[in-house]
Amino acid sequence: MWAWMFVSVPFCHAEVPETFSLLVPDGPVSAKLGSSVVLSCSLSPSFSAVELEVRWHRPNKFNTPVLLYKDQKIQESPVHPQYRDRVSLIGSLEEGNVSLKLENITLSDRGDYDCHVSSVTWYDKGVTSLTVNVLGSEPVLSFTETAQGNLNVTCVSDGWSPAPTVTWRDRKEKEINKNSDVIYSKDSEDLVSVSSWLLFSPSESEWISCSVSLSDQEKREGRVLPLRSKISNSATQPTILEPTASKPSWRAFTVMLVISLLSISVLFILLFILYKKRDPQKPVGTEPAVPEEGKEKERRRSAVELEVSWYRPSKFNTLVLLYKDLKIQESSVDPQYRERVSLIGSLEEGNVSQKLENITQSNRGEYESYVSRGTWYDKGTTSLSVNDSDDLPEVCWYRPNKFHTPTQLNNETQIQQTPAETQAGSL
């Protein structure tokens, strides 16, 4: 019997064409700070690059390359020390893939990279640009009033790379394009600072927001409530752009405020007198009985579709917690409270209490809860005291405008008896 044996003999050396070219991306390649990125580069037509020389280098630094592949191996020198142990060739050299992988990206890695491939008789090169994305600071918003009653709102954010996009929106999430301007500047580390101005009429929206972003997933947002802030922060309001023309309007506002307060006082006195005449036997301070059914409805008023904000006094734009659009908004929270706060209780029953964990001495002070829907809002204030000892922290509650009816402290507060640096409680 005859047996046939087929022996496969591989080609050890692929034929190198006389000429070839390199394929690299048309546009810049983006990566986040501290991540890894692949800079693509491949041969055309496709053939083995095993016997070729592959050199990745920065512009005008041919002799100190980022990576050098020569004599069928990676050469340890001459390689720039900045890239040592951070670069490698990724892909299959047999298929003509000479792409570079760069790890632990820093700001100094931004810029152009040359992919240079050469044979004995021919060479070609391609250039790839790397952009390092850096998320900047939370926008800081402020405003001043003009003589015409409009507001000049300013939005400032620092530490971006590359230059971000600024978008203004009203409370209906509608973009505001008119009467706005943007200025960009760079610091010593080549990071971008952005300042934007918007001329805005308070009658157009209850509040406006400023969003600074690199993409839909990489953005920071802040908001300002001009009507509410003008009343509560009038003592610290920035200098008005046109002080001479705006003084009469402030004087008129003061006169109207005094008249309004006097009118309200007189009205309350008259109502009190009428109330005493109608029910002279009723003791002072008692309230009419509320049916049990009404109490149950009041207790079970749902807060699921409301907007709930917790923040420190005078810091509405750097929130402790924000519940909006049926979920917690992580991107709008002050970094020091991130992953330490949550809503505790049942939103369906109107319970918007906040739980704060890992309490420190810097958490002492007042916290304001702000609940709104449509044109209505109300707020309440909670005071948190943190003892230095292992005793239970003292938490004081009060609610302006009867935002919630106060109850006993031991029924409203849940705080673990642990040292001040690790204890947690609900506000």
List, for residues 249-297, the tens digit of each pLDDT value: 566 778 888 888 888 988 889 888 888 776 555 444 444 554 555 555 5
Residue 392: band (very low, low, confident or very high) from pLDDT cuts 50, 70, 90: very low
* pLDDT in the model for residue 279: 54
The residue-averaged pLDDT of 34-58 equals 95
Q: Which residue has the higher pLDDT, 404 or 425?
A: 425
Is the predicted pLDDT of residue 426 greater than 90, yes or no? Answer: no
Of the candidates 298, 328, 337, the one whose C-alpha atom is nearest the C-alpha of residue 138 is: 337
pLDDT of residue 305: 87
pLDDT exceeds 50 at position 10: no
Which domains are assigned to the chain? 21-133 (2.60.40.10), 140-219 (2.60.40.10), 297-426 (2.60.40.10)
Q: What is the pLDDT of residue 22?
A: 96
pLDDT band for 146, please (50, 70, 90 cuts): confident
Q: What tens digit of pLDDT does each residue of 78-94 get?
A: 889 999 999 999 989 99
Q: Which of 359, 326, 358, 360 is nearest to 343 (CA)?
A: 326
The predicted model gives 337-353 an average pLDDT of 86
Pairwise pLDDT comparison (224 vs 50), residue with the higher score: 50
The answer, yes or no, to whether residue 248 has pLDDT greater than 60, is: no
pLDDT attached to residue 394: 41
Residue 321 confidence (pLDDT):
86
**Taking residues 401-407, what's their average pLDDT?**
38
Q: Please check the confidence at residue 327 and state whether its pLDDT lies above 90.
A: no
Residue 420 has pLDDT above 50, yes or no: no
**Vertex 404: Cα angle to 399 and 408 (nearest 5):** 85
**Selected residue with higher pLDDT from 391 and 396:** 391
Q: What is the pLDDT of residue 339?
A: 83
- Condensed to tens digits (0 to 9), the pLDDT of residues 328-338 reads 888 778 888 88
Give me the pLDDT at residue 229, please.
43
Tell me what pLDDT residue 419 has: 35
Cβ count near 409 (within 10 Å) = 12
The rounded percent of the chain whose pLDDT value lies above 90 is 35
- Our CA angle for 348, 353, 357, nearest 5°, is 130
pLDDT at 62 over 60: yes
pLDDT number for residue 347: 85
What pLDDT does 293 receive?
56
Q: How far apart are CA 306 and CA 355, in angstroms?
A: 18
| pLDDT score of 377 | 84
The reported pLDDT for the residue numbered 398 is: 38
Mean pLDDT of the chain: 78
